[in-house]
């Protein structure tokens, strides 16, 4: 009988011990779930803060670009106003001639010194002439093609430069030399 009571007492003790462990395990599992959810909430709050900062940055960037556009528009509108250049004619009497006209030099300023962009005709002519001359020199010189290419390139480049320079003078890109 003692053995039966002892065995039943031991089985009841083991049963209650297993239930306590399950309850403790369930509680710790619930705690872990809660901690995980708290971390998730913190991450979401950080994401929202980042999005808020990003939106503020984009708004500031847009405002800055609007201000820059207004400044550029004002600068171009002030530059686009026609400028009146007045020329004065001064009459001088000098000992050598009577009644000659003299200009105060403002006509040179009215012509302007705007440079055209891009490659000049002289540069284009030099390149085309040098390549064409080198090819022609290599074809013509049967014995020494390298020497023929060099001579042809130099002659072609000089010729192309001369022709291109004349075109630049004609267009007004280069002032004619007197």
Average pLDDT over residues 28-48: 91
Flag whether pLDDT at 151 surpasses 90: yes
Contacts for 89 with CB less than 8 Å, ≥ 6 apart: 101, 102, 103
Query: What pLDDT is recorded for position 14?
Result: 72
Mean pLDDT value across residues 12-18: 69
To 5 degrees, how large is the angle CA 141–CA 145–CA 147? Answer: 95
CB-CB contact of 159 with 132 (8 Å): no
Q: How confident is the model at residue 40 (pLDDT cuts 50, 70, 90)?
A: very high
Domain boundaries, given as residue ranges, for the chain: 119-178
Average confidence (pLDDT) over 2-9: 81
Q: Which CA distances in Å does 36 have to 32, 33, 42, 177?
A: 6, 5, 10, 86
Alpha-carbon gap, residue 57 to 135, rounded angstroms? 60
Mean pLDDT of the chain: 80
pTM above 0.75, yes or no: no
Instruction: Give the pLDDT confidence of 84-142 residue by residue, as tens digits.
Output: 666 766 666 655 544 444 444 444 444 445 556 788 999 999 999 999 999 999 999 98
3-state SS class at 92: strand
State percent of the chain over pLDDT 90: 43
Q: For residue 22, what pLDDT band results from cuts at 50, 70 and 90?
A: low
Q: Which of 171, 104, 101, 159 is nearest to 130 (CA)?
A: 159
Task: Name the more confident of 78 and 49.
Answer: 49
């Amino acid at each position: 009988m003692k053995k039966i009571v002892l065995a039943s007492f031991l089985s009841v003790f083991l049963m209650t011990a297993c239930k306590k462990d399950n309850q403790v395990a369930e509680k710790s599992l619930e705690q872990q779930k809660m901690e995980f959810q708290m971390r998730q909430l913190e991450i979401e709050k950080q994401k929202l803060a980042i999005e808020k900062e990003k939106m503020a940055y984009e708004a500031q960037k847009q405002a800055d670009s609007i201000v820059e556009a207004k400044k550029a528009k004002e600068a171009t509108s002030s530059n686009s106003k026609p400028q009146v250049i007045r020329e004065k004619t001064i009459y001088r009497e000098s000992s050598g001639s009577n009644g000659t006209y003299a200009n105060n030099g403002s006509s040179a300023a009215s012509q302007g010194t705007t440079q055209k962009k891009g490659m000049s005709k002289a540069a284009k002519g030099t390149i085309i002439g040098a390549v064409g001359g080198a090819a022609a020199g290599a074809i013509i010189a049967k014995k020494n093609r390298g020497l023929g290419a060099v001579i042809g390139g130099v002659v072609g480049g000089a010729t192309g430069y001369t022709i291109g320079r004349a075109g630049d003078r004609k267009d007004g890109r280069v002032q004619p030399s007197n």
